[in-house]
Amino acid sequence: MRMLVFGHGYSAAFLTPLLRARGWQVTGTTRSDPDRVAAAGAAPLVWPGEEERLRAEIAAADAILVGAAPGPQGDPVLAAFRDDLAKSRLRWLGYLSTTGVYGDRNGGWVDENSALDAATPRGQARIRAEEDWRALADRAGLPLHIFRLAGIYGPGRGPFQKIRGGTARRIIKAGQVFSRIHAADIAQVLLASLDRPAPGTAYNVCDDDPAPPQDVLAHAAELLGLPPPPEVAFEDAAMTPMARSFYADSKRVSNRRIKEDLGVRLRYPDYRSGLAATLRAETTAGGASPHGLPPAPVHDRAP
């Protein structure tokens, strides 16, 4: 079996070893760092740059995972390879979206049947990308699965470095709550979907315990044996516009479907177990991700 990953980043680096253990061949695209992709166990392709090789990979693939984010002109994979994808022989197609498509719910619950009501430009771009992928899947008969990821964390993408360095702040916004997911659990959800394909289905990928970001930071400091970072009111916090926009949405995300339909049992069902595992992995790896990956963009990280 052959898997092609567009945008072989942090989450894909957890999936690739699981696929390789099953005998899969994995190819992953990268803009500029083929060594990082190879370190995770995938054959790297530089894109943009190696379009003809990518067309051959699309034609040969049994499964494709799309991790590339939409840009100002829409989804880059569709823009470059729509016709090639329409002619492919895929058994499974996965698109990594975000729970940001649901918008702000004032701390209320959403599930996969909730309206997509994002107000932020990033969330709206993801809604358009989901619609474009569904349109292609409907036209070409592609087995599309959509995975709406909560805030991603894991080794190399946890709060511990900032806490140790004294730069972490507990930003306080009344009623604010986020859902999160450890990258290892993203990988097992994707693997479960490969085992139980259900074309046309969307899945929320998050843990069982939506929580305020300040509680997560306080617990991380406790794990380090350090005092909790100082509190800062949201209105007074110095943040980038992108980081501030993350706080525009407050909601709790249901993960019932991945459990009931895919039979997933989360390795890290809450931030406490996930942070403890992250700290152990970072300590073993000397503070870095086990895959040598760079820090996550702020909009992909779990606050």
Q: What is the pLDDT of residues 87-146, one digit of tens each?
A: 999 999 999 999 999 999 999 999 999 999 999 999 999 999 999 999 999 999 999 999
Q: Is residue 246 part of a domain?
A: no
**Burial group, residue 215, by CB count within 10 angstroms (0-12, 13-18, 19+):** middle
Chain-centroid distance, C-alpha 89: 26
CATH code for the domain in which residue 109 is found: 3.40.50.720
- Give the integer Cα–Cα distance in Å for 246 and 303: 9
Q: Is residue 265 part of a domain?
A: yes
Residue-range definition of the domain harbouring residue 50: 2-158+180-207+252-277+291-298
Q: Is residue 16 part of a domain?
A: yes
Q: What pLDDT score was predicted for residue 286?
A: 65
Q: Is residue 142 part of a domain?
A: yes
Q: Looking at the 3D structure of the chain, how many domains does it have?
A: 1
Q: Is residue 174 part of a domain?
A: no
Q: Is residue 226 part of a domain?
A: no
Q: Which amino acid is at 275?
A: L
Q: Is residue 195 part of a domain?
A: yes
In the numeric block, which tokens belong to residue 264? Answer: 């997933």
Per-residue pLDDT tens, the chain, 303 aa: give them: 999 999 999 999 999 999 999 999 999 999 999 999 999 999 999 999 999 999 999 999 999 999 999 988 899 999 999 999 999 999 999 999 999 999 999 999 999 999 999 999 999 999 999 999 999 999 999 999 999 999 999 999 999 999 999 999 999 999 999 999 999 999 999 999 999 999 999 999 999 999 999 999 999 999 999 999 999 999 999 999 888 888 999 999 999 999 999 999 999 999 999 999 999 999 987 654 444 443 333 334 444
Q: What pLDDT score was predicted for residue 245?
A: 86
Instruction: Dump the DSSP string for 8-51.
Output: --HHHHHHHHHHHHTT-EEEEEESS-HHHHHHTT-EEEETTT-H
- pTM for the model stands at 0.94
In the numeric block, which tokens belong to residue 70? Answer: 């939409």
Q: What pLDDT score was predicted for residue 297?
A: 36
